[in-house]
Amino acid sequence: MPSPYQTAVFGVSGYAGAELARLLLHHPLLHGHAPIFFGRPDEEKGTPIPLTDLHPQLADNNGAGILAVEPFHWDRLGKQNVDVVFLATPHEQSRAWVPRLLQHGMRVIDLSGAWRLDQETNRAIYNLEDQDPDAALAIQKKAVYGLPELHREQIASARLIANPGCYATSIILALAPLIREKRIDLGRGIVCDSKSGVSGAGKTPTAKTHFMHAADNLSAYSLFNHRHTGELLEQLGLRAGDIIFTPHLLPIPRGIFSTIYVNLQEPTAPEVIDACYRNFYADSPMVRWSGSRLPEIQYCVRTSYCDLGFALARDGKRLVVVACLDNLLKGAASQAVQNMNLLFGWPEQEGLT
């Protein structure tokens, strides 16, 4: 039977937008209701662009070839009876559009960083300017951070879901079980050494991301001021002095590899650490816990999973947790679909495994 729900996607031209389109087009419970793809705002006289001109890999024998990215106008959107809008748009654009989308009665899943951060000091890194600061603050207070493993109940009833950052997803999932059980000696600090494939920087090339710079290279960037740091602090209840997060650029197309170093409050057996994670993620189908077998990017890339594993020193106090995921999927598009599944009351992993 055709799905009763209609989705729309803004920003389909980027890497994450392409993955989002692919997942929605093949989602078994959206059969009969292909997403509506919109272009830039107020292009009333624009010409539709075939979706497969932007992304030839989406061509199939089921009708994807006739889908188009439509010129956008607010009146046109209002006539489509859209239930959920996905925003794969720049932060500033998402911040400006969400208030009006909510006024149209639509639910929004935003893949940008525009609504992820509750604290103004953390949000300042985006340099966002609101036309109506009071209205934006009211919306911000109701936005739900879209990490299902932590907030699935709030996500199910949310009107605005702020999809997490890719680095933040890997680190939060790696640390949340330990923090819940208060096992980490925060006085010794947490060190997060994270690496991302080049697609994490977006589709527009820069001097640091083009082939001649990134190939055969490894570089650190945004030390002590990466945009995802605020997400770690707010979602894990940490202070800035509790954690050091250093991102690096890997010379591969996609994937996140985070190595997290912590000291435990007291000597702990490996079996206790294993049970801590297994219990925490017992009902989380998109987290794969491998115990003492450490994850690798090659096993999670192009999947919707976050893979977690650990190594514990002989003293039982020094612990290393490794987290791997695909930055375009669990770090972006598939996590957005996971959130949509929760909104519609569907199995969390539907269309993702």
Supply the residues annotated as catalytic.
166
SS3 86: strand
Which phi and psi angles does 215 have, rounded to 5°?
-65, 140
CA distances to 189, 227, 261 from 239, rounded to whole Å, are 10, 15, 17
Rg of the chain in Å (alpha carbons):
20
Structure tokens at 160: 């605005």
Name the residue type at position 221.
Y
Burial code (b: 16+ CB inside 10 Å, e: under 16) for 53-80 equals ebbeebeeeeebeebbbbbbbeeebeee
The number of angstroms, rounded, from the C-alpha of 25 to the middle of its chain's C-alpha atoms is 19
Distance separating alpha carbons of residues 285 and 287, to the nearest angstrom: 6
By the 8 A CB rule, do 160 and 142 touch?
A: yes
Q: Which among 171, 142, 172 has a CA at the least distance from the CA of 157?
A: 142
Write a three-state SS string for 112-179: CCCCCCCCHHHHHHHCCCCCCHHHHHHHHHHCEECCHHHHHHHHHCCCEEECCCHHHHHHHHHHHHHH
By the 8 A CB rule, do 207 and 220 touch?
A: no
Question: At a CB cut-off of 8 Å and minimum separation 6, what does 297 contact?
Answer: 197, 252, 255, 256, 257, 324
SS3 331: coil
